Amino acid sequence: MRHWERTGQAKIALKAKSEDELLELEAIAKSLNLSGTHKSLRARAPCLALVQSFETHPYRTLAVTNGSLNALGDIVAQASQSILGDKAIEEPHRYDLARTARFFCFGFALGPFIGKWNSFLERRFPLRAVAGGAGKVSTRALSKRVAMDQLVMAPAGIAVFIGSMGIMEGRSPAQIQQKVGDIYLPALTANWKVWPIAQLINFRYMPLAYRVPFQSTCGVFWTLYLSILNAKEDEKQDHATEARRATLAHEKVMRLTLDSKIPHP
């Protein structure tokens, strides 16, 4: 074994603080194929950097990674709105930097929490190898992980998303409540059509360090959906607010007109 191969594996082994962490890091090392050539290792440098950053600053790494990929999802959503929008009946969509910033902030704040959630699932439902089956894991434990994630985290996460976006957009409690009523169930139903399969792959094949990045990468497309759904509801509420203001202004003008026609003694 070459010196740089031994050094690379030794650095990863030294980072482990317990036997469980060592097994996890060995899985990461295997997935990165540290026994490969120097050229192939250089190609995998970003993955190695992510693992090292995760080991030294896990929450910071998860926050930045999740926030950045959330922002990317909104950028894709806004670009799709510009391209796919009916320009004959709609005004051209202008890029909203503040909207992307809100998605980054939400992902940044949620990333560490998702990391803790994944660690909890890892401890609570360990994928013990099936007796007599080399490389196989407990299907029951894997199913429990996915079920727990989808029945607890998914409903709560979508509610927190709608509420957080409403607060950052400066919406009133009544408007936030209306938005929850309008888009919560459609978003949750769409979630259950997509995420169980994604999380099954995530929990089964991804080492712990890669799970939030994997979720965030899949989440680019999920954020695309949520971003468009959220924007449509915002537009609906804005139009309703403008209509109410126009109605109130019209009523005020009518009252002033009637008052001017009433003869004064």
Helix intervals (H) in the chain: 3-15, 19-32, 38-43, 45-56, 58-84, 97-124, 139-148, 154-168, 173-205, 208-261
Q: How far apart are CA 2 and CA 35, in angstroms?
A: 9
Residue 216's pLDDT is 82
Q: How far apart are CA 125 and CA 103, in angstroms?
A: 31
Residue 85's pLDDT is 59
DSSP helix/strand/coil, 137: strand
Residue 253's pLDDT is 44
Domain ranges of the chain: 1-56, 59-228
Q: Is the pTM of this model over 0.85?
A: no
User: Pick from 222, 234, 219, 216: which is nearest to 96 by CA?
Assistant: 234
Residue 209's pLDDT is 81
Residue 17's pLDDT is 45
Residue 28's pLDDT is 52
Which residues are CB-neighbours of 109 under 8 A, at least 6 positions away? Answer: 63, 67, 164
One pLDDT digit (tens) per residue for the chain, 265 residues:
444 344 444 444 444 444 455 555 555 555 545 444 445 545 556 666 767 777 888 889 899 989 998 898 889 888 887 776 555 445 666 889 999 999 999 999 999 999 999 999 999 999 876 555 556 788 999 999 999 999 999 999 999 999 999 999 999 999 999 989 988 998 899 899 889 999 999 999 988 888 888 888 888 887 777 777 776 665 555 545 555 555 555 455 445 444 555 555 5
